[in-house]
Structure 1
Amino acid sequence: MKFFLIEIEYVVPIEKIAELTPAHREFLQIQYNKGLLLLSGPKVPRVGGMILAKSSSQEELQTLMKEDPYLQQNYVKYTYKEFAPVKYQRFLMNWLEI
């Protein structure tokens, strides 16, 4: 399994983002239910967001994230940064599959 920090940058006014936020969060909840996401939330100040995810590949994750309503409407840009966790809290062992 590979791990990714996904940085979201809003490219439209926050009012448009707010309209789609409930649908975006519904989409994210589906991914949480599958065990693919660990955490997510808006940046402070609210100019984008961050998601911590896992996937077998970046390509697979990018394909999955194309279903995000924000991305479908071209309201955001996503940047994927793969990383290899070496230190972690013990309660994360199951999610990390270690």
Structure 2
Amino acid sequence: MFILSLTYVKPQEDADRLMAPHMAWVNAGYDSGMFLASGRKVPRTGGVILARGDRVEIEAYAATDPFATEGVAEYAISEVAVTRTAQGLENLRN
């Protein structure tokens, strides 16, 4: 599993302007089966996405996020070898 942590590097107003295309991009990530969960950071300094798949494909897809292409946010991607989960989340284990 991968944790995609995006951090705004431009004012929040720039992120707000791109929210609709960003959310279309997020929805496409879910539709493809790549994304498992997502949400805003609190306080709102960016967001986090949990994803599965091939690292190269995930990195390539992250690069197409409107937040990334417009320079509003930067991504840090970490791979996690999940070995234990709460009941009902067993499919997240490696």
TM-score past 0.5 threshold = yes
Match of 2:13 among 9, 12, 15: 15
Equivalent pairs, count: 94
How far off its partner does 1:97 sit? 7.9
CA–CA distance in structure 1, aligned partners of residues 35 and 86 of structure 2: 16
Instruction: Verify the 8 A CA contact 2:82 2:93 in the aligned structure 1.
Output: no
Partner residue, 1:34 = 32
- TM-score normalized by the length of structure 2: 0.90
Partner residue, 2:61 = 64
* Deviations 1:60-85, CA, capped at 9 Å, x for gaps: 21111111110010111100110011
- TM-score normalized by the length of structure 1: 0.87
Over aligned residue pairs, what C-alpha RMSD do you find?
1.6
Instruction: Verify the 8 A CA contact 2:4 2:50 in the aligned structure 1.
Output: yes
Percent of aligned pairs sharing the same letter: 32
Partner residue, 2:78 = 81
- Which structure 2 segments of 5+ residues have no match? none
How far off its partner does 1:93 sit? 4.0
- Which structure 1 segments of 5+ residues have no match? none
